[in-house]
Amino acid sequence: MLTAMAAWCRDEGPAPYPLADGCQDHLVALAIEESVSSGAPVTTAAEAWTDSTL
């Protein structure tokens, strides 16, 4: 990951972790925290920033 990030910073490669993936991962992390604190299930969905072809 660090090598890929260094290459991206030098304009020598693609972004190693797309922003859309990070946003979706953060959404899931927030849902986990909410579920733990509330004791209830929390549902998420693929948001507009995700690749709808996946």
Please write the tens of the pLDDT for every residue from 38-47.
999 999 988 8
Distance of CA 36 to the CA centre of its chain: 20
Percent with pLDDT over 90 in the chain: 56
* Residue 13 forms part of a structural domain: no
Print the domain residue range for 31: 18-49
* Residue 5 forms part of a structural domain: no
Summary mean pLDDT of the chain: 89
17: Cβ–Cβ under 8 A, 6 or more apart, which residues?
A: 1
State how many domains the chain has: 1
Summarize pLDDT for 6-25 with one digit per residue, the tens: 999 999 999 888 888 888 89
31: Cβ–Cβ under 8 A, 6 or more apart, which residues?
A: 42, 43, 44
Nearest to 16 by CA among 1, 32, 29: 1
Summarize pLDDT for 25-39 with one digit per residue, the tens: 999 999 999 999 999
Q: What is the pLDDT of residue 53?
A: 55
Percent with pLDDT over 70 in the chain: 94
Measured distance CA(4)–CA(28) in Å, rounded: 24
* Residue 45 forms part of a structural domain: yes
